[in-house]
Amino acid sequence: MTSSPRPARLRLTGGRGRLAALIADYFRAPRHHVELYSRTQGDGFGDLARLCQETDWTCRDTLLHLAWSTLPATSEQHPGREAEVDLPLLDSLLQSLTRLPSARRPHLVFFSSGGTIYGNAPGRPNREDDPCHPIGNYGRAKLAAEARINAAIVQHGLACTILRISNPYGYPVPFARAQGVIPHAISAAAEGKTLRLWGDGHARKDFLYHTDFLAALDLVITQRPIGSFNLCAGESHSIREVIQLVERHTGRHVVLEHAPAPSWDVTDSCLDPAKLCRVIAWRPQVSLEEGIRRSVAGAIEH
């Protein structure tokens, strides 16, 4: 009797985040052995500092690098934090991987930011070969991280995929987290809370339902494309449209409190997913309205 091969191993940094939890739940056994790493170890989370020294890798393994110490808003409140924390961590991981023999190097997937790295769209959807003009600290730091990864691809032949992700939604996020207008709008409608909104609601974003995100990530892990790719729905919608859809599917009014739009916030984010769709044979399936309908139904169930 032959034994079945060991499940492919996925190691995730930023393991305590909600997106990492979503990914871990999707990819766990029998197909994959999932390990979560955090700056705060314990309770099932490995030590992120130790991961930077790890030598127990095989070419079948994948490292999903989600760890990041800021959000777009907190990056402005703590300028330079990424240079102190996130970029040195990335440097350590890259150095650790390049020291391995080529035959034992894992696939690295870096979670970048499609919503901030380009800046405002140039009158059409941004493609991966467009110049990037981030207007906030967060986007500039992600772009600096991408430069390090691209150098590792060219100089050391590392197998790296950079995903410029738009705004995944449809899974729980903490209400106190200053990110994710859709879950916050649904929570505000369901609980009668006031939703604090930056600007007048005309800012446009790309929203990607979580099942489409996970399906694309599954193919990326399987096929291992090298380079930078927009992972997005390929459609932009205004925040005002989002609020209207939430009101339609909850049957409740969302009370808004408007705050001035910050200078660093991208007001016209529009991304083209054609490159990723072509390379991995993927296409987003869930429209914004259907995704919000499902999100509302899920919130009611819980």
User: Whole-angstrom Cα distance, residue 29 to residue 288?
Assistant: 31
**Mean predicted confidence (pLDDT) in 224-251:** 97
User: pLDDT value at position 5?
Assistant: 58
Contact 269, 166 (CB under 8 A): yes
In angstroms, the CA 267 to CA 204 distance is: 6
Q: Is the distance from CB of 77 to CB of 69 less than 8 angstroms? A: no
What domains lie within the chain, and their CATH numbers?
Answer: 8-169+207-232 (3.40.50.720)
Q: What pLDDT score does 2 carry?
A: 44
Beta-carbon-side half-sphere exposure of residue 23 (alpha carbons within 13 Å): 29
Q: Give the pLDDT confidence score for residue 172 in this predicted structure.
A: 78
The pLDDT, as a whole number, for residue 1 is 41
Confidence check: pLDDT of 301 > 80: no
Q: Report pLDDT digits (tens) over 124-176.
A: 999 999 999 999 999 999 999 999 999 999 999 999 999 999 999 998 776 55
Question: Over the stretch 36-75, which tens digit does the pLDDT of each residue have?
Answer: 999 998 889 999 999 999 999 999 999 999 999 999 999 9
What pLDDT does residue 177 have?
55
Looking at the whole model, is its pTM more than 0.85?
Answer: yes
- Total residues found in the chain within this entry: 302
Please report which confidence band the pLDDT of residue 292 belongs to, taking 50, 70 and 90 as the band edges: very high
pLDDT at 6 over 80: no
As a whole number, mean pLDDT of residues 196-216 equals 95
Note the helical H segments in the chain. 18-27, 48-51, 72-77, 81-84, 86-98, 137-156, 181-191, 210-223, 239-250, 274-280, 288-301
Closest CA to 207 of 189, 174, 232: 232
Residues above pLDDT 90, as percent of the chain:
89
Q: What is the per-residue pLDDT for 103?
A: 93
Q: At which residue do the structure tokens 């080529």 appear? A: 102
pLDDT of residue 134: 97
pLDDT range class, residue 298, cuts 50, 70, 90:
confident
- What's the mean per-residue pLDDT of the chain? 93
